[in-house]
Amino acid sequence: MAQFKYINPLASADGWLNVRNASGEVVAVPAWLQVRVDDQKDGRTNFTFMEGSVPSRGIAAGKKGSVKTIEPKTGLPTLVDNPRDRRNEEGLIFVDLDDKVRIVEGFTMLVGKLWMGARSGNASRGPYEVRMEVGDLPGGLAPGNEAWSALGLPDWAHDGNYPALWDTAWFPIYTGEANIRNLDNKAHYLHCGKYSSGCLSVDPNHWDTVYEYLIHRRKGPTRVGAVHIRYKK
Higher pLDDT, 14 or 59: 59
- pTM value is 0.95
Fold of 91-232: L,D-transpeptidase catalytic domain-like (2.40.440)
pLDDT for 159 beyond 90: no
Domain boundaries, the chain: 3-80, 91-232
For residue 45, give every residue at least 6 positions away whose Cβ sits within 8 Å of its Cβ, in sequence order, or none.
37, 39, 66, 67, 68, 69, 78, 79
Rounded Cα distance between 70 and 224, Å, is 27
Whether residue 1 has pLDDT greater than 80: no
**Second CATH level (architecture) for the domain 3-80:** Roll (2.30)
- The beta-strand segments (E) located in 99-219 are 102-105, 107-116, 125-133, 145-152, 171-174, 189-192, 200-202
Helix (H) or strand (E) run with residue 215 in it: helix 204-215
Q: What is the pLDDT of residues 161-188, one digit of tens each?
A: 888 889 999 999 999 999 999 999 999 9
3-state secondary structure of 134: coil
What is the mean predicted confidence (pLDDT) over 27-52? 97
pLDDT tens digit sequence for 63-77:
999 999 999 999 999
Q: For the chain, state the CA radius of gyration.
A: 18
Q: Residues 87, 6: contact at Cβ < 8 Å?
A: no
Give CA–CA dist 189/2, Å, rounded: 34
